[in-house]
Amino acid sequence: MNSPAKRGETDFMKLIMSDYKVEMIKDGTREFHVEFHGPNDSPYHMGVWKIKVSLPEAYPYRSPSIVFVNKIFHPNVDERSGSICLDVINYRWSPMFDLVNVFEVFLPQLLLYPNPSDPLNKEAAALMIRDQKEYEKRVIEYCERYAKPEDDGSTSTDDTEDESEPGDDDNDDEG
């Protein structure tokens, strides 16, 4: 087994041992879903999202593909595809990072500190700039509708099931 494949399996196991709920998509550790809870002290705190993770063959030298499966209202997340605009995952990735970093640092930071000046969701960015309270109200509405703890919200993506898998673009999104 080559070093990148071994590293991918090691990072996968570290993620499971960090008490994240992980569900393999196919056999193997290259594609899986992770249950992600919104960070406290944010309007996302009551949301629970299913995150699809796909590890490229060259992982950890190439970044994982990280996609929200259920909908989220956020300036840096494309509402339709679930792809994210986050420098550290898209083009500043380093082999020093691992999957636990993604879920314990990078995604919480994304939700705590949205960047409306570099949006994938222009509506969310404009609302955040124009009316912060209304933006937070919309975030909470999305959490209640699409990211409830008792259901992973996957029914909210039925309209994308017939299309290519979200995140198959290998993180080439702008952002």
Catalytic residue among 85, 89, 139, 147: 85
Per the CB < 8 A criterion, the answer to whether 168 and 66 are in contact is no
109-66-162-27 Cα dihedral, nearest 10 degrees: -140
d(CA 82, CA 161): 13
- Told to judge if 143 belongs to the known catalytic residues of this protein, a careful annotator would answer no
Stated length of the chain: 175
DSSP E strand boundaries for the chain = 22-24, 31-37, 48-54, 65-68
Q: Which positions are catalytic? A: 85
